[in-house]
Amino acid sequence: MRRSVLLFLPALLVSLAATAQQTSVAQGDSHAASPASHFDGNSWWAHVKFLADDSLEGRNTGSEGLRKAQAYAVEQFQKAGLEPAGVNGFYQPVHFNQFQVDESKSSLALVSKGKAEPLSFADDAFLNSRSTRATVYLQAPLVFIGYGLKIPEKNLDELAGLNLNGKVVVYLAGSPADIPTALASHYQTAGERWKSLHAAGVLGVVTIFNPASMDIPWSRISANGNEPSMDLAGSEFEETPGQQIGVAFNPASAEKLFAGSGHTFAEIAALGKDRKPLPHFPLAVSLSTQAAIQTTPIESANIVAKLLGSDPTLKNEYVVLSALPSTATAFTTERWTTAPAARWFSTWL
């Protein structure tokens, strides 16, 4: 006697039940028992080769490559005898908004005594489309706020006593050593951090990567800095409502931010290396930003299938299984690097 199985492939996820053959046996289909009796490595590898093939170009959300992967999953579901459970057969439409910085029409500069020093997107800093969601021109004073954290559970408030209204704040990524890791991780998420910054009247943020904890070099970070970001469509899904700009800053160029402030980034980095408390102070430079954001609506789909259970009561309860056919990918001159997610999805198939 079995509960029903709901096989759920969100616009970013796909699944297939390993218990399908077992349920079929319970329902009297002895022929279906054979595939479940052993692991077929050849079939698994065939799935991997199809899903990781360069022709699918990374299977990004809403892409033609992902649609091919979804059609492949539907075909496998049908072969397994599963029933569609989406809105349009196996498909359940999902709407997204994609955001990308048009760097040809955007700029960053530090302004001191009326003189602007342009910043290089490749070498110094870049606009982050996850937190810069609309075209904007902004010039605002900068204030350094340490790690930029407000954690009531530990009586930590790095914003206390600072006039941040109408300012852009600068902080070093990380947290003080006396804050438990789980608590620090929670309050370092963009949404949680922005709640307190937004309440203080902050317009935007500049994040300096902590050189003591950078496991990816800046050259690779900036090379991928202009990759588009994507969220579910709808204002209720905005993680940082009201934030006008978000900037990622190379620590190797960060002395430019501290010029004339009476502090150096070398001083800040030394404290941050040992996760010691950081000072908070206005900076002598202001930030001038021109951000041109391209917004594109994208439709993708969940793929949903079901395998009804044999128990008259339990079949109304569902076990949900999922796996990932799409993936965050990288492209080199040789191939798309999507095999890890393809292996996971293929294991379900």
Band the pLDDT of 307: cuts 50, 70, 90.
confident
Note the pLDDT tens digit of each residue in 139-148.
999 999 999 9
Domain C-terminal end among 272, 291, 310: 291
Kindly state whether residues 262 and 181 are assigned to the same domain: yes
Residue pair 344/33 in contact (Cβ under 8 Å)? The answer is no
Give the residue-averaged pLDDT of 4-32.
Answer: 43
Q: Distance from CA of residue 226 to its chain's centroid?
A: 13
Residue 322, token pair as written in the block:
């999922």
Q: Hey, CA dihedral for 278, 279, 285, 289, is it positive or negative? A: positive
Based on the domain organization, do 156 and 287 belong to the same domain? yes
Same domain, 177 and 75: no
Query: What pLDDT score was predicted for residue 132?
Result: 93
User: Average pLDDT, stretch 315-338?
Assistant: 57
CATH code, domain carrying 245: 3.50.30.30
pLDDT of residue 15: 33
- Give the whole-angstrom CA distance, residue 201 versus residue 205: 12
Single-letter amino acid code for the residue at 330: A
21 versus 79: which is more confidently predicted? 79
pLDDT at residue number 336? 41
H helices present in 238-287, as ranges = 255-258, 265-273
Domain boundary pick from 291, 317, 339: 291
Task: Work out the pLDDT band at 117, boundaries 50, 70, 90.
Answer: very high
Q: Dihedral angle at the C-alpha atoms of 186, 192, 193, 195, nearest 10 degrees?
A: -160
Q: What is the dihedral of CA 171, 182, 212, 205, to 10 degrees?
A: -20
Using DSSP, state whether 303 is helix, strand or coil: strand
What is the count of structural domains for the chain? 2
| Whether residue 343 has pLDDT greater than 60 | no
pLDDT number for residue 165? 98
Q: Which of 248, 273, 291 is the last residue of a domain?
A: 291
Whether residues 286 and 178 share a domain: the answer is yes
pLDDT class of 11 with cuts at 50, 70, 90: low
Is the domain of 110 the same as that of 221?
yes
Q: Quick one: 110 and 90 in the same domain?
A: no
What digits encode the pLDDT tens for the residues 23-78?
333 344 433 333 444 567 788 788 888 888 888 877 888 888 889 988 988 998 89
pLDDT tens-digit readout, 250-278: 999 999 999 999 999 999 999 999 999 99
CA 115 to each of CA 118, 129, 283: distance values in angstroms, whole numbers, following the listed order: 10, 27, 15
Kindly provide the b/e burial profile for residues 151-190, where b requires at least 16 CB atoms within 10 angstroms of the residue's own CB.
beebebebbeebebeebbbbbbbbbbeebeeeebeebbee
State residue 3's pLDDT score.
62
Residue 211 has pLDDT above 90, yes or no: yes
Q: Are residues 172 and 318 in the same domain?
A: no
The contacts of residue 64 (CB under 8 Å, 6+ apart) are 57
Domain identity same for 199 and 228: yes
- Domain shared by 40 and 158, yes or no: no
Q: Do 89 and 107 share a domain, yes or no?
A: no
Domain range for residue 40?
4-94+300-348
Question: Which pLDDT belongs to residue 348?
Answer: 56
Residue 301, H or E segment? strand 293-307
90 and 108, same domain (yes or no): no
80 and 138, same domain (yes or no)? no
